[in-house]
Structure 1
Amino acid sequence: MTDSEFDLLDELYFVQPFGYLLESLGWSEEKLLETLQSACEKGYIKCLYSPDEEVFERFDMFKLGRNLYFLATKKGLMEHNAL
C-alpha cells in the first residue's frame, strides 16, 4: 500500500463522494484519480454510482471518477490497519 493509498483509506471508512475527497485530501484531481484507480485495482476500495449502488463493470476512472462515491473494502481496511 502506497502512502497515498493509506491517506485515501483514512477518508473512506464511510461512503464519500469525489468532491469530499478532493477537498479533504487537498490533492490535484489527477493525483486523486490515479490513487483511486490504483486502490480500486488492488481491491482496497469499492466504487459506487450512488451511496448504495456499487459499480461492478469495468470503467475509466478518469472519465467517471468525478461522479462516483467511494468506500474502503474489508481488504483495504485490513491492509490499512496492519500498517
Structure 2
Amino acid sequence: MTDAEFDVLDALYFVTPFLEVVRETGLSEVEVRDTLGGLLNRGWVRCYQGPGKELMPDEVDFPQDFVRYHYLATKAGLLAHNGR
C-alpha cells in the first residue's frame, strides 16, 4: 500500500465527498483521483451519489463524475489500512 492509498483510506472511515478527501489528505486532486481509481478497482472503496445513496459498480462513471461522488472505505479496505 502506498502512502497516498493509506492517507486516502484514512479519510474514508465515513462517507466523504471528493473535495473533503483532497482537503484532509493534502494531496492534489489528480493524486486523489488516481488513488481512488486504484482503490475502487481493488474493491477497497465504494462510491456514493450523496451521503445515503450507494452506487452499484455499473452505475459509477468514475472518469466523468469522480468529483461529484462521495466515498467510503470497504471492510477489505479498512483491513488493509489497519494491517499496514
**Separation in 1, partners of 2:76, 2:13:** 12
SS in 2 for 1:67: coil
Q: TM-score, normalized by length of structure 2? A: 0.90
Could you list the structure 1 runs, at least 4 aligned residues long, displaced by more than 4 angstroms after superposition. none
Aligned residues: 83
Counterpart of 1:80 in structure 2 is 81
**Separation in 1, partners of 2:6, 2:73:** 11
**Separation in 2, partners of 1:20, 1:26:** 10
Q: How does 1:1-83 map to 2 (within 5 A)?
A: 1-56=1-56, 57=58, 59-83=60-84
**Separation in 2, partners of 1:60, 1:3:** 26
- Listed as ranges, the gaps of 5+ residues in structure 2 are none
Q: What is the CA-CA distance between 1:25 and the residue it aligns to?
A: 1.4
Query: Do 2:16 and 2:72's aligned partners in 1 also have CA atoms closer than 8 Å?
Result: yes
How large is the RMSD of aligned CA atoms in angstroms?
1.2
Cα–Cα, structure 1 residues 62 and 29, in superposed 2: closer, same or farther, change >3 Å?
Answer: farther
Q: What is the CA-CA distance between 1:44 and the residue it aligns to?
A: 0.7
Structure 1, residues 18-60: CA drift from partner, whole Å, max 9, x if none?
Answer: 1111111122211110000000100111111111111111544
